[in-house]
């Protein structure tokens, strides 16, 4: 774990809530001057603790109302297959996250698509790029909690 103090954690908590919060407002909330906040954020950027700053978008309003979890099993675990799978999943739009798993499941993919036809397009594109032994999908009926903020 990186060596960060209580003030850094407070700053990170504010930035996770809204990364466009003015430095003055962050300083008021954490008890530091604008310049001190700016120096700390710059240091957190430099160490890689802050990886990116981005807007959180409403997927449904953008026509991507269906979230799907794809469970992947494969017969191959050699480095060439893994490289091809990684390249394929990175290249396909709609795929948000890819995880290599323990247990019976080899990989878990989280994707956003417009509808079932769009999911089929994604599925067909994936299996055309890399051989898979089993793909099953679970579709999200209700998002109860999806909070990207880390507990600091």
Tens digits of residue pLDDT in 76-124: 889 999 999 999 999 999 999 999 999 999 999 999 999 999 999 999 9
pLDDT digits (tens, 9 = 90+) for 9-49: 999 999 999 999 999 999 999 999 999 999 999 999 999 99
pTM score of the predicted model: 0.87
Range(s) of the chain covered by CATH 1.10.10.10: 6-47
Say whether domain 60-139 belongs to CATH 3.40.50.150.
no
Torsion over CA: 107, 110, 112, 116 (sign):
positive
Range(s) of the chain covered by CATH 3.30.70.920: 60-139
Please provide the CATH number assigned to the domain covering 6-47.
1.10.10.10
Asked whether the predicted pLDDT for residue 52 surpasses 90, the reply is: yes
Q: How many angstroms separate the CA atoms of 113 and 97, rounded? A: 13
In sequence order, which residues have a C-beta less than 8 Å from that of residue 27 and are 6 or more positions away? 33, 34, 36, 37
């Amino acid at each position: 774990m990186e060596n960060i103090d209580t003030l850094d954690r407070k700053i990170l908590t504010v930035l996770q809530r809204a990364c466009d919060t003015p430095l003055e407002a962050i300083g008021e909330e954490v008890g530091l001057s604008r310049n001190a906040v700016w120096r700390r954020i710059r240091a957190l950027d430099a160490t890689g603790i802050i990886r990116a700053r981005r807007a959180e978008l409403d997927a449904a309003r953008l026509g991507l109302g269906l979230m799907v979890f794809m469970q992947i099993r494969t017969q191959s675990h050699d480095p060439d297959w893994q490289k091809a799978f990684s390249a394929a999943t990175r290249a396909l739009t709609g795929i948000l996250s890819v995880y290599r798993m323990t247990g019976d499941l080899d990989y878990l993919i989280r994707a956003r698509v417009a509808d079932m036809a769009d999911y089929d397009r994604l599925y067909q594109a994936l299996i055309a790029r890399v051989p898979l032994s089993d793909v099953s999908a679970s579709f999200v009926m209700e998002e109860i909690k999806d909070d990207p903020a880390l507990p600091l």
